[in-house]
Chains A and B, each alone.
Chain A
Amino acid sequence: MSRSSLSLVLGAILVLGAALPASAQTLHVDKKNGFQVVPPKGWTKVPIKVEERWIAAKWLSDKKYDDKESGFSHQPMMKVMIFDRSKIQPGGGSTDSAGGAKEQEGPKVGDKIDLTAPYLDYKDYLKRNFNEGGWFVSAEDATKMGSTPVTMIEVKVEKLTYTGKKRLLAWVFTADWGDLAIEVDSLEQSFDKLRPIILGAYKTFKLIPRDPTLAGEDPGIDVGGGIRFVDPNETAEQRKKRRQAAEEAMFKKAVSDLPSEWSSKRSANFLVLNHANPKFQEKVLAHAEAVRAWLDANFGDVGDDYVQKMIIRICKNRDEEMAFRKGSGDAFSIDSREAIVSENKDGTSQFEFEYLGQSIMRMWFHDKNADLYDAMPQWLERGLSQYIGTAVLKGGRLDFSPDTYETERIREGRRMSKFSPVRDLFQMTGKDLWSGENARYLDAQIASVFRYVYGPGRANRKLSTLIKDYITQLLAVVQENEKAARAEVKAEGAKTEEEEEEEFKKRRKQDWSAKEKEFLKQVSEKVFGGWTDGDWAGLQKGWEAFAK
């Protein structure tokens, strides 16, 4: 669109704008952020991430458009973004406990150094968020709607855009307190078809007075990057309180931000936000609680910490999930515990359950024992996550049978002799596992070994507690190494370039891979020190028979 056509569009609006009454049926009024708009007919409101600070509302088109050039299809999205001028300075809006800004003077426990760089305006937001191809502002025009200054911005997305060339059309309304930008993205090929729909909605956009009472209390969610000062001697009980507060804040905000078509439900360990079939929700919730119960039963004693309750967000389909996931780059929080799944009618739901189970497992271990989570070898993490991920809830119990993919890889791997001795598997680093051409077979082998150990292998006394024993010893090694590191006297430092080079050579030999190997060796010696060759042969034979 040329500058002149933008002006023409605006001319039409200036005439029509005053006469157009807001359509009562779909008028969206946001008193908190000071705007109202009628979204295009049939477009669905998409929830906003709990951690989001810039996007106030978004709607997903009811139609998909095909791009003939790239072969991809695209579902346009309309969103409203808020750029409050009072927040554009670094750390803006952040205060100390007395409610005022202060200079840094020896941080205390609970303080946070806010290192986020707030978005200055719509263009700055695009620069730091848009990642679907190279883009530039192709047209820009400033005018007024009534007394409100409006900047109309058109953006073309042309280079390295694998999903089709696109165009964004944004109008930025300037209020006395900041900017509000409304934007729609469209395939270049379908832009002309969409333009009347987009403009129809833009015509209805209007600034209204902000109601500060609706902003409510600051939910206290720790969002974006920064440095948080935590008490190094914090007890498990203190951590529990901190996590419970974060959990409550997250839950509260998630529910309050939910579009009216969504429902919410709390269970013992989860808050479910649902836009899918209620039956699917019940299936998801039952599965989640079963996985959580399995983790509590099998690993409940690996740590003392409180495992934070999670949000499970169920979108009605993959498109809605993708639209939900598109948010601002700083919309994240270390306190977040959320898994997003969608109901799909194309037979891919099992992948949703796999993702759900694995997410629950990772967050569970992260909370239960951070040392364990950080030190978990890849074979152990991958084995457990595959074992839990592929579990299916049948008759109220989790069935841990392998999925088709694993069964096929095991068959192929056996035929092509791609497996490693089980004894070696337990000492493999990430590089050993994933860098070679046998990676996918080793991946399947790990899962299969876990199924054996947790299945028929339980009959063997040594195997019945193997994974738990391994974790216990792993934690012991972590503690020993930490103690040794604290006791180590720092070398005085090189005095000459030759000495520096010698130290450099030593450090190079002690890279992460070498350290990982050494760590695995230490743990293995503790766990398998008492094992005989016969024990290993028994495990190898038992697994091979099981995997046939």
Chain B
Amino acid sequence: MTIPFLRRIPAALTLACGLAGTAGADAIQFKDGRSYEVSKIVEGEGGYRLIYGAGEVFVKKELVSLVLMSDASGNFVPKTDEERANLDKGLVPWKGKWVAKAERDKQAAKEADEAKKAMEEARKHQEWRDRYIDETAHFRFEYTIPKEKCKEYQVLMETYFTEFTKKWGIRVDPKQKKLLVCFYHDQEYYYQVSGAPRGAIGYFRFVEPIELNFYYDRNDERLTLDVMFHETNHYLTHLINTKFHYPPWVNESLAEYYGASEWDPVKKKMSIGHIQEGRLVNLIDAVKADEMQGLEEMIKMEQFDALMYAWGWSFVHFLMEHKKYSAPFQKFYLALAQDKNVSRQPHFAEFMKVGGDEQIRVLKQYLGLKDLKGLEKEWHEYVKGLKLTSHRGYEEAAQWADRWGMKIKAGRFYRTAIAEGTKNPQTFDNFGEWLQRDGNPAEAVDMHRKAIELDPMNAYYYLHLGQAMESAGDKEGGEAMKKLALELEPNDPWLAFQAKNTIIRAK
């Protein structure tokens, strides 16, 4: 199925089809695949007004892939003599032309029918049992996201496969099965179908059945790309030696290095070596507290937590971007799994590993070093010189500073993230809440409105807008927004609690 183009039903039109007058028949589908039934949808300037009992939700056209309006007004009001004359002749406006009313009704009914079918088809494919299945040269994709979105990732992952195997000199066994890639339309469905534990936002399963699972984050596509680059890297390095288990500081850290890759969908080119800003925020935290990570200690670790992902990434980034160390490090990486002179030991099942001391010996050998102290110092200096560069880093840094009570710094980082052009609605919402706490509800209202513009179906954004409006003195408007939030999300007790509408029971 192809995702239908945006079907705009002219406002000056009454559909004489079966949809007309049916309560709850209006529906809207977003480009990310979400769809909602609404009692009434009306086309407005630059978008659609979704009419709810407690108020309206405005959705910009650029977010929408499909809309069904059962009650678009056919009461066209003529403004000129010419329009009046055409109406007198029994003509009505239709796609920039004047056509007979019966013809217009027939065309409109046909389009509405097609749109309804397309929407039902798209909804159906969000069920795993009706998932799409496609194959490319090296992957088998099973997915519930819109087909066109997945196509972008198919091209990207094939490019990644080709470039990585070439750069790292990996010869792929011709008998190697295509990797199963399971790609879900949202986080909740990913957790449900993939069985991943909470907190694991993607996984590569390296024992049979080998497969890769991740989801599409509609508010943060950069995160989706990051996870895809990271998890696919595990697969690509798995191809070096399918019976070898890399230690975490190498395995996770190279995956993080590739996780920051960028993709140009027009030129169909990927670039590597970018800053993993989310990780850098963790390092800034540690550096400020003078808690530098020892290199040998890190190499010997068998488990990696979030902070270690950050240290590991920075070390691999340092090596990969260093003129002197880059090539030898890549050789070292391959040697761990392939060099006959490296001592390996049984790990689990049929997998082998290399012990910490042996890793250090081989690293020193390949980098031409007598000990790692100097390297550790260089690495630490390198980390201290790394800077946040994009809105993504600043928004994460803002949240981090907010968590640690550094209010002034958090405010500056939020403003920088916005100035750098973030399109993440959560950042606007977070900053709005920060402004509320800072006693600036008027600006908070603007931020929450911006969050809503980017993600108009998030009930919490209306709740926060309502709270800010009330603080700014607009009690009535604020109350209306909170009621709208409750109407959008009627079954969320936390939302209900915050909207001050929670039922209390006496013991």
Contacts and interface: CB of A to CB of B under 8 A. Distances in A.
Contacts of A103: 500-501, 503
Nearest to A508: B289
Contact of A112 (B408, B490, B507): B507
Contact of A114 (B129, B195, B291, B503): B503
B404 interface: yes
A234 to B, nearest CB: 13
Contact of B196 (A97, A134, A222, A505): A134
B504 A111 contact: yes
Given A117-B493, A138-B129, A504-B405, A96 B505 contact: yes
Contact of A107 (B291, B406, B504): B504
A88 B507 CA distance: 21
Interface string B492-507: 1110110011111111
A521 to B, nearest CB: 22
Contacts of B496: 90-91
Contacts of B404: 504, 507
B193 interface: yes
B467 interface: no
B176 interface: no
Please indicate which of the listed interface residues A90, A97, A494 has the most CB atoms of chain B within 10 Å of its own CB. A90
Q: What is the interface of chain A mostly: helix, strand, loop, or mixed?
A: loop
Contact of B408 (A108, A134, A494): A494
Contacts of A500: 405-409
Nearest to A133: B195
Interface in B168-214: 182, 188, 192-196, 205, 211, 213
A160 B504 contact: no
B127 interface: yes
Nearest to B407: A500
Contacts of B127: 136-137
Interface in A62-93: 88-92
B412 A136 contact: no
B128 interface: yes
A96 B291 CA distance: 53
Interface in A504-525: 504-505, 507-509
B493 to A, nearest CB: 4
Interface string A110-146: 1111111110100000010000011111110000000
B491 interface: yes
Chain B interface extent, by class: 35 or more
Nearest to B495: A90
B493 A115 contact: yes
Contact of A120 (B406, B491, B502): B491
Given A115-B497, A501-B406, A504-B405, A91 B502 contact: yes
A112 B503 CA distance: 9
Given A494-B408, A503-B405, A104 B504 contact: yes
B324 interface: no
B288 interface: yes
B53 to A, nearest CB: 15
B504 A112 contact: yes
Contacts of A501: 288, 406, 409
Q: What is the interface of chain B mostly: helix, strand, loop, or mixed?
A: mixed
A127 B128 CA distance: 14
Contacts of B493: 90-91, 114-117
B51 to A, nearest CB: 22
A114 B405 contact: no
A136 B406 contact: no
Nearest to B486: A90
Contacts of A89: 490-491
A101 B506 CA distance: 10
A252 B127 CA distance: 44
Contacts of A108: 506
Given A90-B492, A117-B493, A160 B196 contact: yes
B502 A497 contact: no
Contacts of B494: 115
A117 B497 CA distance: 11
A541 interface: no
Contact of B194 (A90, A95, A118, A160): A160
A543 B357 CA distance: 38
B130 to A, nearest CB: 10
A104 B500 CA distance: 6
A505 B288 CA distance: 7
B236 to A, nearest CB: 22
A102 interface: yes
16 contacts: A89-B491, A90-B502, A91-B504, A95-B505, A96-B504, A96-B506, A101-B503, A104-B501, A111-B504, A112-B507, A114-B493, A115-B497, A117-B492, A117-B493, A134-B196, A135-B192
A532 to B, nearest CB: 39
Nearest to B494: A115
Given A91-B496, A134-B196, A497 B412 contact: yes
A496 interface: yes
Contact of A159 (B195, B409, B506): B195
A497 B409 contact: yes
Contacts of A110: 506-507
Contacts of A118: 491
Interface string B243-278: 000000000000000000000000000000000000
